[in-house]
Copies of this chain bind each other. A is one copy, B any other.
Amino acid sequence: MAQPTPSATLDPIDLDAARRRLATPDRLSEFFRPRSIALVGASDSSGWARFVVDSLRTAGFTGALRPVHPKRPTAFDLPTVPSLRALDEPVDLAYVFAPTHAVEGVLDDAAAAGVRNAVVLASGYGDGGGEEGRALERRLVEQAVARDITLLGPNCLGFVNAAGSVAPFGLGIVPPLRRGPVGIVLQSGALTSNVLAFARAHQVGISLLTSMGNEAVITTADVVEHLIADDDCEVIGLFLESVRDAPRFTALAAAALAAGKPIVALKVGRTEAGQRTALAHTGAVAGDDAVVDAAFRQYGVIRVGSLEELLVTAGLMGSGQAPRGRRMGVVTASGGACDIIADRSTDEGVEIVEFAPGTTDALRAVLPPFAAAQNPLDVTGVILADRGSAQAGLGDVALNAVVDDPGVDFVFHMLALPAAEPPDPSVIEQRVTAVAATSARSRIPVVNFTATCTDLSPYAQSLLDRHGLHALGGIEFGLTAIGHALRWHETRQHPPAVGEGRQQSHLHVPTRPGAGFADARATDGPWSEARGRELLAAAGVPLVPAELVTDADAAVAAAQRFGCPVALKVCSADIAHKSDIGGVALGASGADEVRAAFGRVLAAGRAATSAIDGVLVSPMRPPATELFVGVTVDPSFGPVLAVGLGGVFIEVLHDVALRLLPVDAGQVRRMLGELRGAAVLAGARGTRPADLDRVAEVVAQVAAAAAGLGPALQTLEINPLRVDGGDVEALDVLVVTGGM
């Protein structure tokens, strides 16, 4: 058994930092390109070892393979050594098949033999869910740190480096393994064969694919960081069961966006909106998955719903033909396909624009008389039936005409590709050559696609490859991918501010309490409304005027100053939801009513608590549009801003837009546009159209005030924020801090 490791006394933060040093991009560049591999515990009868040997062969691995087995003299027709210590020179990577209890010993051997990298297949660590397994995994990390061993797993299958022709991977890989621009990180290794099968069938090439296992040392974020730096990778595909270090993930997402490497992620585990905090609304509407969704959108991570969508989208993004504008020209030989495309384009916000007159003229000159020279274009089945005749060039002429249309941002071009090499391949060769020539000279992307998501035959793939073309798998996934590409490009135009990824972590936000609120951390629980109002006022947020009074005469005097009718609210840090206990009186007019209302709300407050600050008196406002603005703290992603319309929109429909903090006014403007009830702000219900710039400015101030509370922030909520044209005013404020 292994000896106690010297790092056993590291505290968790130091251990994590030490772990990180094993998984830097530099270390991972070395890790993923071994020229010699030891198979520790491999025997001919082990299915896993057989898979690894087969996968290495499929990947074209030409380095040294050294089986290690304590008892058997050979494995896979190679002589074994009994232990890593018996190797004449260290290998670059040890693939450890040893059972759980033997892994520590193998790693000691590895360290002694100068091996710096290991894949650990064994399970029964943190994956088992038990305390014992977790302790075992911590020991494994400590050992790796102490021995300077970069480790993938445990409970993982290894990796497939197609770009580097090395695939120490414990499941079968059906050849051919296609190299290409897509780096893939899977938090479920069992999906690997499915991912590779679909990628192979759809001309999607892989640079690196990793099965992450328990992520004891190398984490998903480490591999993403490596892929951002790795020139072989142009697109990053993720299968995520969880986002472990959310601030690091968003920082990496921002870096990938800045580097122009799209991240496409299938994040599973969508759950019901959690009731995180019963004190405020915001927690209820900002459920775990909704926050993930918002964070991904904000940081340009393309979220997909299926493996097919993941790979077709990654294929488009890696093809060099991803569109950057929404105006689409469509060229097909099928009216039915045009119909389907038109419907799906509407879903994706893609515009099928009218062709320019020049385009229409050029098309009319070549189309058969019964075909319409319009977008989407159906050149008709004539090009199929009359192959080889004068009509054969019709598709090419049409594609060239549409590519030159000045009002089109990209062309969606349907290709019919053969299932096998035809007896006379010259027709299809000629066609594909012409498409490639048009594509090469085009100033706009030409996105080729097949009608449905059937496999591209090996012949079709070789044909496309020879001409540098890519074809998306079907109209359905193809247009979904195009929608993703367009949104990704738009996010690049409005990237999150540099450093947001770190700043948003409530662990890292510097504490910037508002003036006079240095005691925010000391407060544990809800604030009185009067104190909350002071915080917001200091941040520049416009508030309905209010006076805190402690007797009925002062209430009447305040009402006279404001003009009746007025609202009266009992003010106490102990009463977060005043109206629930009868602590609010609305529309009081005249001295008698104000006096009575004062007595009523105070009595209601006193029935609930002895710590009453007084009663807030405010002028009543006429009905107008009401917004809900709240900031809550997500346990993973930190402070989250939620903006929605009041009433049924928030209560029944949970119609909110979310963003991680910090946000600027520009981001808030886009949030407002995402609301299902956005038309209300435009005046749909007969109210004055909202001044959206002013609303965005105020909401950004609210968000800044919340961020200023630093780690003490729990909730900051304005409900409602009254909006009447350009008049924007907070009518009610709730602040909760503490509990960190």
Contact = CB atoms under 8 A, between A and B. Distances in A.
Contact of A677 (B197, B384, B389, B653): B653
Nearest to A47: B385
A17 interface: no
Interface string A303-324: 0011111000000000000000
Interface in A49-67: 51
Which residue, of A266, A336, A474, has the highest number of chain B Cβ atoms within 10 A? Answer: A336
A453 B308 contact: yes
Nearest to A195: B452
A307 B452 contact: yes
A188 B191 CA distance: 37
Contacts of A476: 305-309
Given A343-B270, A653-B676, A193 B387 contact: no
A493 interface: no
Which residue, of A124, A343, A346, A685, has the highest number of chain B Cβ atoms within 10 A? Answer: A343
A709 B378 CA distance: 45
Contact of A47 (B124, B343, B387, B677): B387
B306 A171 contact: no
B684 A370 contact: no
Given A269-B343, A340-B266, A451 B648 contact: no
Nearest to A647: B648
A605 B384 CA distance: 67
A172 B194 CA distance: 31
B452 A194 contact: yes
A269 B309 CA distance: 24
Interface string A37-53: 00000000011100100
Contact of A198 (B51, B309, B452, B680): B452
A74 interface: no
- For the side of the interface on A, what is the size category? 35 or more
Nearest to A123: B370
Contacts of A334: 188, 190-191, 194
Copies of this protein, total: 2
B190 A378 contact: yes
A67 to B, nearest CB: 17
A140 B29 CA distance: 73
Contacts of A193: 416
Nearest to A346: B270
A381 interface: yes
A416 to B, nearest CB: 7
Contacts of A647: 648
A448 interface: no
Given A188-B336, A241-B336, A451 B653 contact: no
Contacts of A340: 266, 268, 306-307
B307 A190 contact: no
Interface in A373-416: 378, 380-381, 384-387, 389, 416
B188 A335 contact: yes
A455 B474 CA distance: 13
A34 interface: no
B680 A191 contact: no
B381 A190 contact: yes
A454 B198 contact: yes
Interface string A626-657: 00000000000000000000011101110000
Contacts of A198: 452-454
Nearest to A420: B174
A239 interface: yes
A486 interface: no
Contacts of A46: 385
Contacts of A270: 343, 346
Contact of A385 (B48, B416, B419): B48
Contacts of A369: 124
A76 to B, nearest CB: 15
A237 interface: no
Given A127-B370, A170-B381, A195-B452, 18 more contacts: A47-B386, A51-B385, A124-B370, A157-B381, A174-B419, A188-B336, A191-B337, A194-B451, A197-B452, A198-B454, A201-B455, A269-B342, A305-B343, A308-B453, A308-B474, A648-B677, A648-B685, A653-B676
24 contacts: A47-B389, A128-B370, A186-B336, A187-B336, A190-B334, A190-B378, A190-B380, A191-B334, A194-B334, A194-B451, A197-B419, A197-B452, A198-B453, A201-B454, A241-B339, A266-B340, A269-B342, A269-B343, A306-B475, A307-B451, A453-B453, A652-B677, A652-B684, A652-B685
Interface of A: 46-48, 51, 123-124, 127-128, 157, 170-172, 174, 186-191, 193-195, 197-198, 201, 239, 241, 266, 268-270, 305-309, 333-337, 339-340, 342-344, 346, 369-370, 378, 380-381, 384-387, 389, 416, 419, 451-455, 474-476, 647-649, 651-653, 676-677, 679-680, 684-685
Closest 9 CB pairs of A and B: A188-B336, A47-B385, A190-B334, A268-B339, A194-B451, A306-B476, A191-B336, A455-B455, A198-B452
